Amino acid sequence: MLNIVVCVSGGGTNLQAIIDGIENKTIENTRVIGVISNNAGAYALKRAEAANVPAFCISPGSFGNRGEFNRAFLEKLRELKPDLIVLAGFLVILPPEMIETYRGRIINIHPSLIPSFCGTGFYGLKVHEAVLARGVKVTGATVHYVDEGTDTGEIILQKAVEVKEGDTPEILQRRVMEEAEWVILPAAINKIAHNIPPGDGHDFA
């Protein structure tokens, strides 16, 4: 059984896709043992509650400094003992110690086809704004392992999504979520739950 902790900051639609994937068995041998949010108002916390998943809010604002926040966050992870940590729209810079401790056991979903439109400053709607400004015809999403860089870790799955005439950043963001993110994030977790290395099983999604 793959025990996962999902880290979130916002709406939690990717968390929902994971919860639903486990429920409808597109993700096998996996359970969500905890959800951690840095934001008390995140709707993702309500989704966790509704699914009877233990949810925790650890917010940098409630600590005196970054070091104290990092310690509390790491302590919660140590307590939960996840096999895999899934960053699903988690807008926090990870403590370096966390990357070291959980190397090869942290994955992230990014709303573009890496290496395009990724790295520092490319998050949320900014990614889709940049895609439209450049005029590319195809975008998509990527699930990758997390290392010390920003969006530089090994790629697990990608899925392309068409950019359409008249798209706004919001419309494109929604299409990328529906057609790519909510498909490849559950698929990547299922792949890991079956011990399939990133380079194999390209048609797994």
Which of the residues are catalytic? 110
Question: Dihedral through CA 96, CA 100, CA 105, CA 111, nearest 10?
Answer: 30
Are 86 and 5 in contact, with CB atoms under 8 Å apart? Answer: yes
Q: Which residues inside 100-159 make contact with ligand GRF, applying CB under 6 A? A: 109-111, 124
| CB nearer to ligand GRF: pick between 110 and 191 | 110
- Give yes or no for residue 34 binding ligand GRF (CB under 6 A): no
User: In one letter, which amino acid is 4?
Assistant: I
Quote the CA–CA distance of 14 and 141 in Å, as a whole number.
12
- Give yes or no for residue 14 binding ligand GRF (CB under 6 A): yes
How many residues bind ligand GRF (CB under 6 A)? The answer is 15
| CB nearer to ligand GRF: pick between 23 and 68 | 23
Quote the CA–CA distance of 6 and 4 in Å, as a whole number.
6
CB-facing half-sphere around the CA of 104: CA atoms within 13 A: 3
| CB nearer to ligand GRF: pick between 123 and 204 | 123
- Give yes or no for residue 190 binding ligand GRF (CB under 6 A): no
By CB under 6 A, name the binding residues for ligand GRF: 8, 10-14, 44, 88-89, 109-111, 124, 177, 181
